[in-house]
């Protein structure tokens, strides 16, 4: 480089002026001696005007930077990176949220369990942090939410898309509801859509409407010589999608400055809410909650993917618990000294196996079997069904195998009119948990004689 520099007074003066910048560039690239600095390290003149540049992705935060904010809301605000829109629909939705403080309070209270994890995952991927607010629109942060289109969970995956992103759906669990699995799948899906369209607003529209529909709308506008940004395509979208991005913008505006709208957000500490605990054997959901010293509702809020009263799975299955409760869980588990699961499986081999007959055989009631397996009243089990039944002997103490879990199905048909009375049985009530989950958390009720026999065998 030195051999090409003319020895003139003017250039010497120029190099003197550039020396601070060269020194700074050398500090940033200490492996290069000053004489061999790349041309890209030299300042350019005139200065670049960056006022018109759009940033689609935030720069990935260093780990220390992520913890400088006092609460998670601050982290979300600092990572906003999707271009704003400002239209009548945004104003309409801002007004809707701002005039419903109770709704905001309920939704943000639910969100407080999950937001730290979601924001951390977004920052790891270098994605806009306002995407953490998307469950506000999808499910109000309710992981038990189920739409009329059979979209489930906090991120509202339909069954097919869930399977595309490796979310297991079987008789025992539905990972579309799971906090860790569904968040990972949703962010992977959103990133794929962004890579497809190069625009976060269009990616969001595709998340709601489907990428094929957005691609067709783009081609239609291109053929007509019209722009293909979100607002230009909005007139081609169904009402739900047309309102989708404005709803997110409305929530984004409120989170950015809640006081402007007369709202208060609950403080959410910028620390992990939960930790993952390895599950080494089958365990009843109620027993797991008891060992963690949590209510069943709180346990299910962190572990909504489990559909049955028993949590099955292989060594990869984990349960989520607040950290202090995880410590209690390990301590109580070490002192438990009893069976962790009171359930096993039974395969129906003939239509003659009625629920009443099964209840008598397994020392329980028909309602307990119906509730544990989500079998409607006035229906009969079909042959080939695999159902949960109470354990009645130590010979049934082995865990439910992963193969059974993967392949288990429960099929039933309408029961014919019968003249026999079913008086004497009452529907087992599950309280609030029953209303918010597909199956109530029943206990496997075993007869006193069977229980005593089991106790004697353990001694």
- Residues marked active site are found at 138
Interhelix angle 115-125/179-197, nearest 10 degrees = 40
| CB 340, CB 213: distance < 8 Å | no
Cis link prior to 46 (omega < 30° from 0)? Answer: yes
| CB 388, CB 359: distance < 8 Å | no
Choose among 309, 283, 312, 294: nearest CA to 441.
309
Question: CB neighbours of 32 closer than 8 A, spacing ≥ 6?
Answer: 26, 38, 41
Q: Is 196 exposed, middle or buried (0-12, 13-18, 19+ CB in 10 A)?
A: middle
The DSSP bridge partners found for residue 160 are none
- Of all helices (H) and strands (E), which one includes residue 248? helix 239-256
| CB 327, CB 382: distance < 8 Å | no
No. of H helices and E strands in the chain?
Answer: 21, 8
Compute CA 330 distance to the chain's CA centroid, rounded to the nearest angstrom: 25
SS3 of residue 423 by DSSP: coil
Q: List the Cα angle 121/122/123 in 5-degree steps.
A: 90
Helices (H), 126-224: 134-138, 159-164, 179-197, 200-209, 211-223
| CB 393, CB 454: distance < 8 Å | yes
| CB 93, CB 247: distance < 8 Å | yes
Question: CB neighbours of 73 closer than 8 A, spacing ≥ 6?
Answer: 255, 265, 268
How far is 27 from 16, CA to CA, in rounded Å?
A: 17
How far is 430 from 385, CA to CA, in rounded Å?
A: 24
DSSP letter at 40 equals G
Residue with tokens 């939704």: 107
How far is 406 from 436, CA to CA, in rounded Å?
A: 24
């Amino acid at each position: 480089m030195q051999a090409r520099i003319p020895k003139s007074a003017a250039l010497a003066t120029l190099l003197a002026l550039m020396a601070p910048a060269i020194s700074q560039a050398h500090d940033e690239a200490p492996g290069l001696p000053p004489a061999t600095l790349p041309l890209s390290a030299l300042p350019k003149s005139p200065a670049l005007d960056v006022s018109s540049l759009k940033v689609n992705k935030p720069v990935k935060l260093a780990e220390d930077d992520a913890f400088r904010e006092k609460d998670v809301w601050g982290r979300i605000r600092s990572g906003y990176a999707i271009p704003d829109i400002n239209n009548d629909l945004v104003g309409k939705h801002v007004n809707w949220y701002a005039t419903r403080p109770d709704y905001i309070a309920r939704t943000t209270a639910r969100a407080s369990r999950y937001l730290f994890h979601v924001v951390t995952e977004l920052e790891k991927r270098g994605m806009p942090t306002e995407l953490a607010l998307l469950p506000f629109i999808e499910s109000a942060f309710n992981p038990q939410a189920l739409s009329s289109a059979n979209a489930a969970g906090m991120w509202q995956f339909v069954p097919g898309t869930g399977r595309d992103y490796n979310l297991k759906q079987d008789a025992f669990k539905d990972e579309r509801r799971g906090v860790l699995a569904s968040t990972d799948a949703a962010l992977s899906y959103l990133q794929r859509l962004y890579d497809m369209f190069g625009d976060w607003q269009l990616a969001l529209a595709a998340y709601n409407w489907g990428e094929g529909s957005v691609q067709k709308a783009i081609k239609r506008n291109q053929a007509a010589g019209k722009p293909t940004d979100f607002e230009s395509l909005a007139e081609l979208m169904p009402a739900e999608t047309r309102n989708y991005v404005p709803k997110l913008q409305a929530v984004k505006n409120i989170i950015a400055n809640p006081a402007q709208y007369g709202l208060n957000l609950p403080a959410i500490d910028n620390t992990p809410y939960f930790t993952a605990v390895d599950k080494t054997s089958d365990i009843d959901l109620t027993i797991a909650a008891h060992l963690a010293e949590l209510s069943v509702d709180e346990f299910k809020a962190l572990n909504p993917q489990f559909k049955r009263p028993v949590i099955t799975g292989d060594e990869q299955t984990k349960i989520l618990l607040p950290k202090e409760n995880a410590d209690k869980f390990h301590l109580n588990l070490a002192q438990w000294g009893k069976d962790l699961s009171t359930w096993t499986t039974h395969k129906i081999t003939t239509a003659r196996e009625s629920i009443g007959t099964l209840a008598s055989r397994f020392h329980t009631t028909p309602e307990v079997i119906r509730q544990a397996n989500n079998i409607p009243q006035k229906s009969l089990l079909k042959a080939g069904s695999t159902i949960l039944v109470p354990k009645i002997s130590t010979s049934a103490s082995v865990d439910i195998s992963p193969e059974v879990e993967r392949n288990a199905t429960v099929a039933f048909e309408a029961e014919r009119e019968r003249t026999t009375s079913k008086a004497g049985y009452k529907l087992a009530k599950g309280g609030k948990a029953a209303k918010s989950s597909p199956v109530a958390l029943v206990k496997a009720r075993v007869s006193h004689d069977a229980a005593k026999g089991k106790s004697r065998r353990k001694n």
